[in-house]
Amino acid sequence: MNLLHRYLFKSLLVASLLAVGIFAFLLIVGNVLKDVLGLLTDGQLSYPLFFRLLSLLIPYVIAYALPLGILTGVLLVLGRLSAQREITAMRSAGLSLLQIASPVFFLAALGLAFSVTINFHYAPNARAQYREDLSQSIRENPLNYLVERRFVRDFPGYVIYVGNKRENELRDLWIWELGEGRMVSRFLHAEEAVLDYEEATESILLVLREVYAEIRSDSDPEDLRERRPSPSIQQTTIRLPLRDILGGRARSKRLGDMTFNEIVNVRREHLTEADAEEEDHFTQLVRIQLSIQERFAMAFSVLSLALIAVPLGIRIQRKETSSNLVIALCLALVFYFLVIAVGWFETRPGMRPDILVWFPNILFQAVGIWMFIRIERL
């Protein structure tokens, strides 16, 4: 028994670690493409800082890659053993399905404990440091934020396009000011402009010269027949606050960037500062509790996905890696869709999303136990 369990555990561990590595790599690539690759190619990030940001993403993505990896590892190993009739041989030798699957549950328990640690300590710290380093890199090189021949939509209320840039001098500058519903309310075109940085307010200053301005209709901004050209402007200044993008230095931490002790302290302070019957207080309290319960639920997803993977891996009897990977991805998509669906109720505290967040785990565990019992009776 000990020899068999060591063999199964080693096979499961190797397959799961490889799968976790693959999923973590894919998630890191997705975050890099979204957040920092453009900054690197535009010269706003140095290579050392780029690789530091990559390293800070690892704990964050591990929280999602770990359940997927263990699910895939279990399907791969048990699917192969079942296809080669090794599971049948074990059961013929008198082993129950629970005894055969005990290395899976031991690995899932280790993954659960590791995931709790990651979710409540390393991932929040790494994510907070990631945001701070990314923000600091922009603060240190604010004049590099506007890149030529690229539409910049990061400043609330503006879309900006620079035709040509040399240091802090701009040519062929196009600015669309957005009003209600993100519709264009005013259009500006400057032949030249000067870019400056105001440290006191953490703002980029655009000094526009020889400006053509065009005002759109308030009732129908998309009707170009209603646009009204304004007299030419010799010079005007537009202030673009970086704080709208990065947040001020004194900005409080987001709930998602707090460790377990920090978020528990916030919850305790919130309970003592406000009247429990106030609607705003209850909404914020549910949001805090949802952040706590969501991390625990994500950690327990390791066990839930492993539980459903055991009978599924034995029943499908496939040793093809691609087939098992597709099955794992489909199961994970269903699970994470349910988690996301619960998050839609965050603004409706009366639905108690902090309790509903456990529904995906309960559902997958119930289905897994039902399948487990059926196979055991065969």
**What is residue 273's predicted lDDT score, i.e. its pLDDT?**
67
SS3 percent helix, strand, coil of the chain, rounded to 5, is 65, 15, 20
**What is residue 250's predicted lDDT score, i.e. its pLDDT?**
41
**What is residue 176's predicted lDDT score, i.e. its pLDDT?**
87
**What is residue 262's predicted lDDT score, i.e. its pLDDT?**
87
- 207 contact partners, CB below 8 Å, separation of at least 6: 193, 194, 196, 235, 236, 237
DSSP letter string, 331-350: HHHHHHHHHHHHHGGGG-GG
**Phi, psi dihedrals of residue 249, rounded to the nearest 5°:** -65, -30
Residue 330: both structure tokens together: 């489909």
Q: Other CB atoms closer than 10 Å to residue 48's CB: what's the count?
A: 8
- 163 contact partners, CB below 8 Å, separation of at least 6: 148, 149, 170, 171, 172, 173, 174
User: Are 204 and 145 in contact, with CB atoms under 8 Å apart?
Assistant: yes
**What is residue 248's predicted lDDT score, i.e. its pLDDT?**
47
Residue 163: both structure tokens together: 């035709």
Q: Other CB atoms closer than 10 Å to residue 193's CB: what's the count?
A: 28
Helix H or strand E segment including 204? strand 203-215
Tens of pLDDT, residue by residue, the chain (378 residues): 588 888 899 999 999 999 999 999 988 888 777 767 766 776 667 788 888 888 888 988 898 899 999 998 998 888 888 888 888 888 888 888 888 889 999 999 999 999 999 999 998 988 888 878 877 776 677 666 677 788 887 787 888 888 888 877 888 888 888 877 777 778 888 888 888 877 777 788 888 888 888 776 665 555 555 555 566 677 888 888 876 565 544 455 677 788 888 888 888 887 776 554 566 777 888 888 888 998 999 999 999 999 988 888 887 765 555 666 777 778 888 888 888 888 788 778 888 888 999 999 999 999 989 988 888 776
User: What three-state secondary structure class fits 194?
Assistant: strand
User: Are 248 and 203 in contact, with CB atoms under 8 Å apart?
Assistant: no
User: Are 45 and 39 in contact, with CB atoms under 8 Å apart?
Assistant: yes
Give residue 113's Cα distance to chain centre. Answer: 21
Nearest to 328 by CA among 3, 22, 95: 22
- 13 contact partners, CB below 8 Å, separation of at least 6: 73, 107
Tokens 């049948």 sit on residue: 88
Residue 334: both structure tokens together: 């269903």
Q: Tally the C-alpha atoms within 13 A of residue 276's C-alpha that lie toward its C-beta.
A: 4
Q: Is the pTM of this model over 0.75?
A: no
**Phi, psi dihedrals of residue 151, rounded to the nearest 5°:** -75, 125
Q: Other CB atoms closer than 10 Å to residue 331's CB: what's the count?
A: 20
Give the separation between CA 315 and CA 105, rounded to whole angstroms.
18
